[in-house]
Chains A and B, each alone.
Chain A
Amino acid sequence: EAQVTQNPRYLITVTGKKLTVTCSQNMNHEYMSWYRQDPGLGLRQIYYSMNVEVTDKGDVPEGYKVSRKEKRNFPLILESPSPNQTSLYFCASSLWGKVNEQFFGPGTRLTVL
């Protein structure tokens, strides 16, 4: 089944404790992206990647890191999480090109205490 998977789905952590949220897709998509969703603010793009080893900042990249060492994986790293990073996070992927329908993962709900 074609899908985007994220792990963990739920995470409660404390300020400053490094964490990684994994994202993996099995559709051979070139493009992958991370979004955070907060009430009243919609989906905001954190980082995106157009292919292996090619990443760029979205609209809200502060406090986050990403890497794209393999085509299928695009982990989101929070080196020192803070309470303002409490949010619902979505990973998405798509083929590269003009008409690029994005497929979203199920989401990861992160709480930073």
Chain B
Amino acid sequence: QQPVQSPQAVILREGEDAVINCSSSKALYSVHWYRQKHGEAPVFLMILLKGGEQKGHEKISASFNEKKQQSSLYLTASQLSYSGTYFCGTEPQTGTASKLTFGTGTRLQVTL
């Protein structure tokens, strides 16, 4: 079952902040975040693991609530380059990496 992302779409003005949420009905081992620009391949943003370990780009921050099986991606002081579709991918707690299940995406548009 795919994780649920919210919102489905958001429009921001440059400099504004946004939060994208990802929720799963299953116990999770990790949550992955990727961004895809139109016509391009998805690009890695961040991984958050159960227990607190994480790896990602410096300008991106995210959280992972293991009890609620929820993750949030925080985009602060947005730039035009942040536009794209954001996908979360979840890995079940069996830890048999990597059967990754992606959400349907959140489309973000940053305008001047």
Co-assembled chains A and B: yes
B42 touching A104, Cβ below 8 Å: yes
Complex Cα distance A50/B105, Å?
26
Across the interface, name the chain B residue whose C-beta is closest to A43. B102
B49 touching A43, Cβ below 8 Å: no
Chain A residues near B89 (CB-CB < 8 A): 43
Interface presence of B94 (CB below 8 A): no
A107 touching B99, Cβ below 8 Å: no
B100 touching A45, Cβ below 8 Å: yes
A48 touching B99, Cβ below 8 Å: yes
Complex Cα distance A35/B35, Å?
15
Chain A residues near B97 (CB-CB < 8 A): 31, 50, 96-98, 100
Using known A-B contacts A42-B87, A42-B105, A99-B55, determine if residue A104 contacts B98 with beta carbons closer than 8 Å: no
Q: Which of B53-87 contact A (CB under 8 A)?
A: 53, 55, 87
B87 touching A45, Cβ below 8 Å: no
Chain B residues near A42 (CB-CB < 8 A): 2, 87, 102-105
Complex Cα distance A43/B85, Å?
11
Complex Cα distance A97/B89, Å?
16
Chain B residues near A41 (CB-CB < 8 A): 104
Question: Could you tell me the distance in whole angstroms from the C-beta of A7 to the nearest C-beta in chain B?
Answer: 15
Using known A-B contacts A42-B103, A43-B87, A90-B41, determine if residue A100 contacts B2 with beta carbons closer than 8 Å: no
B100 touching A33, Cβ below 8 Å: yes
Among A33, A42, A105, which residue has the most Cβ atoms of chain B within 10 A? A42
> Told that A48-B100, A102-B44 touch, could you supply 16 new A-B pairs with CB distance under 8 A?
A31-B97, A33-B98, A35-B102, A41-B104, A43-B87, A45-B102, A48-B99, A59-B101, A96-B97, A98-B49, A99-B47, A100-B47, A102-B32, A102-B34, A102-B98, A106-B41
